[in-house]
Every structure is written in structure tokens, then in C-alpha cells.
Homo-oligomer: A and B are copies of this chain.
Amino acid sequence: MISVVILGAGNVATHLFKAFKTTETINVVQWYNRNSDSLNTYKNEVAITDDLSQLAEADVYIVAVSDDAVKGLTKKLPFENRLVVHTSGTVKISDIDKKNRQGVFYPLQSFSKSAKLDFANVPICIEAIKSEDYHLLKDMAIAIGSPTKKVNTDQRKVLHLAAVFVNNFTNQLYRVAHEITESEGAEFDLLKPLILETAKKVQELSPYMAQTGPAKRNDKKTLNNHAKLLTNKHHKEIYDLLTKSIQHTHGRKKL
């Protein structure tokens, strides 16, 4: 049995708590938040505290707080030589105060408060200084059904950056498509199967191999027709830059 204390009350903390509760090998012994009111919903399921000096003993302390708060909070922990991990994509492992054993347990997925989450679809990026800590974190990830990967701080940072491209930026392209279709009273809903197919395609093929369309083919007639349709200057900027990007990737000179 792995005993865990969770610190923080955000989406990651809450989803991890719920996932850990479903396992037979992880025991959440305590849940801390600066303001314990936000944990009231769970007070019948787990011991709750807002007092760092009252933290229970555990195998792992999971610090799932905002990036800026990791350093300060781990400094205030009233014990030494225990395993303390954060869950952030951008915070260095060394930002965890070094009086404890440092680690990272970064779930690479988009978390919303309400939506149900299947941890089979949440790769956990693990970093630890000591080999036994790495294996304990890996066992935790396996217990909740997640794939795992050893990822160092530099790799984690670029994964977080790349995640912004495939999640936030991609979603913004969906938004622009929504604006474009609405401008002519066409239905954005008609694009939803294509959105899903585009995401499914790169589960098997590399994005390089999956690419199609007028930019890749350098189909000037279609590119010109699209340019005429793009009345919104801002949409046109995105169109031009991403067309250039595709042609850069696929060697427009050769096409």
C-alpha cells in the first residue's frame, strides 16, 4: 500500500484524488489545502487539513498547486527526507525544497473540473532523483491505469510547450473555423467529424505523412480563392502563416 497526502484543491488534485480512491494499492491518508472549505465535499472520504504542521506521515506528498506556489509551499513543509513531488509541466524538479526527496508526477492532459477523466488516456511524465522514488511513482501511475514515461525537466518543458500547440492553438483554429462558417450562416457542426478524423489520423500516421490540402499541393487556384474569401484580416494572417509553414515543411520549391 502506498500512502499519499495531496496538497492543493484544483482540477489536478481533485482528479488524482478520485483516481487514487478507485485503486486498491494507493491510500490517500490526508488532503491539505490552504483553505480547507474548498475540500468540504470530501470530508467524509478523507482527513482534511489546512494546517501544514498537522500533515500526516506518508510515502508521497503530491503538491498539486499553481506553478508559482510550488517553491514556497515545499519550503514550508515541516519534515525532511520524504518524497515530495509536484504535478507541473513547467516547474523544475529542483524547485521542490531540497530538504526532501524531489520528484515530478506530471499528468499530460487537459483537465476540466466537471468532465470525467479516464486515466488510461493520461500519460504520466515521471522524474525523480532516486531510483526507488521513480519506481514508487511509476507504480502509482500504473495503479490508476496511466501509461508512464521517464521525462527530465527539459523534456517536460518542451512537452508542455508542444501541448499548447496541439491543445490551445488547435482549439483556437476550431474557433476561427466557427467564426468563418457562421459568417455565411453555414453550420460549424458539419466540421466536427473532420475535426475528429484529423486527430485520429495522427494516432497512427506522423503529422508529416498525414498532411494533405491546397498548401501542401501548392494549389494556387484554391489558395487564391481562399484569399478572396478571407475578409477578416486576422483570419487571413493565420491562413497565410500556416500555409507558409506547411510549404516550408513540405518543400514548396519541389511542389
Interface residues of A (CB under 8 A from B): 67-68, 90, 108-110, 112, 115, 121-123, 125, 149, 151, 154-159, 161-178, 180-181, 183-188, 190-203, 206-208, 210-216, 221-222, 225-226, 229-230, 234, 237-239, 241-242, 245-246, 248-249
Contacts and interface: CB of A to CB of B under 8 A. Distances in A.
Contacts of A162: 176-178, 180-181, 186, 188, 191
24 contacts: A90-B225, A108-B194, A121-B196, A125-B190, A149-B187, A155-B184, A156-B186, A158-B181, A158-B186, A158-B229, A162-B191, A164-B226, A165-B174, A165-B180, A166-B177, A166-B198, A167-B195, A168-B216, A170-B174, A172-B207, A174-B207, A196-B199, A196-B200, A234-B245
A208 B121 CA distance: 23
Contacts of A203: 192, 195-196
Given A108-B191, A175-B249, 19 more contacts: A67-B222, A110-B201, A112-B201, A115-B201, A121-B193, A123-B190, A161-B230, A162-B176, A162-B191, A164-B226, A167-B194, A167-B195, A170-B170, A170-B174, A170-B199, A171-B198, A171-B212, A175-B207, A177-B207
Contacts of A226: 161, 164
A197 B245 CA distance: 24
Contacts of A225: 90, 157
Contacts of A216: 168
A194 to B, nearest CB: 6
Contacts of A166: 173-174, 177, 191, 194-195, 198
Tell me what chain A mostly uses at the interface: helix, strand, loop, or mixed: helix
A149 B229 contact: no
A178 B229 contact: no
B238 A171 contact: no
A147 to B, nearest CB: 8
A170 B194 CA distance: 11
A183 B167 contact: no
Contacts of A171: 198, 201-202, 207, 210-212
A31 to B, nearest CB: 24
Contact of A168 (B151, B168, B206, B213): B213
